[in-house]
Amino acid sequence: MGVGELHTNLTYTGLVEAFERGELDAAVITVGMQANVFRALAKSGKIRFLSIPNHEALAAMELHLTPFSVPRGVYQFEGNPVPRDTIQTVATGAHLITSSELEGGLVERVTEEVLSSTFQRENKLQELFEQGKSFANSKPFFPVHEGARWVYEPESRTLLDPDIVDMWENMRSFIVSFLAAGFFGYQWFRKRQERLKENKIDEYVRRVISIERQQMSLDAGGGIEDLDKLQSLQDQLTELRQECFKDFSGHNLQDEPGTDCFLELCASLSAKLNSKMTRLRLSGEIQRLAKAIEGEK
């Protein structure tokens, strides 16, 4: 029968009511053998259960179907049994479908609960109660989730809980990322410090050049009165050199390309200042000696 005005889909309650009102001629029901809808239909006394013709051929053509028999009188065995004769039909297993991403431990606990005898008795799961794991694991129409496989095949479980392994993998990735970020951050900080040191070296060189210019202004015919100014410049140069040594260790000082220039400028300027001060002192002594000789005359 094709889909059309003579075909309709009904709920199980609506199905029973339609048969009682005589509005329905036949129905194909897909449900568990112990479903209450069958017992309700059996009590009405207005229906007959029919076998599916060539049910074995149908099962052979559809991999998920299996030949199945409904025993005589299973829905009513007192008086007129329902069904009157054994019904030949087909069955397919019910599947619990879940995402492959769902936690394995949760799927494992659900599978164990379904396989418990208490759950099977309460839900009248006869085949599962009789055959257990072999029935539950037969003809899986979908890939079996890892958590369910731990129940059916305990040897497939790894020594470590995969959830814990995943957690450690995520943590390891985080630690590696953190260390990588720390390494690149340290490299950036070190280069920044090096640039700051280079700027400091430039600043030291500029200050030496400033002292150099000040001493040059004292070149033109200076007298003994310039001695204090030269000594002050020498002291400034000494303090500048000591300040540089505090900022840079001996190893770093050798590695910095600008320090050679700075130290050479300091040495050259210090020699100039000492030379000028020596010359001024000698000039002062000569002048004092000349005045003493003139005074004796």
Reported as a pLDDT band with limits 50, 70 and 90, residue 66 is confident
Average pLDDT for 3-24: 80
Angle, helices 36-44 vs 12-20, to 10°: value is: 10
How far apart (Å, rounded) are the C-alpha atoms in residues 69 and 73?
Answer: 12
What confidence tens digit (pLDDT) does each residue in 225-239 have?
778 888 888 888 888
Average pLDDT for 10-33: 85
Average pLDDT for 169-179: 83
For 60-83, b where at least 16 C-beta lie within 10 A, e where not — what string?
Answer: eeeeebeebebeebbbbeeeeebb
Please say if the pLDDT value at position 25 is more than 80: yes
How far apart (Å, rounded) are the C-alpha atoms in residues 281 and 263?
Answer: 27
Average pLDDT for 104-131: 86
How far apart (Å, rounded) are the C-alpha atoms in residues 287 and 281?
Answer: 10
pTM: 0.45
Ordered by where they begin, the domains of the chain are: 1-92 (3.40.190.10), 99-157 (no CATH), 164-296 (no CATH)
Round the average pLDDT of the chain to a whole number and report it: 80
CA angle, 90 then 93 then 98, to 5° = 150
What is the model's pLDDT at position 220? 53
At 230, which helix (H) or strand (E)?
Answer: helix 227-247
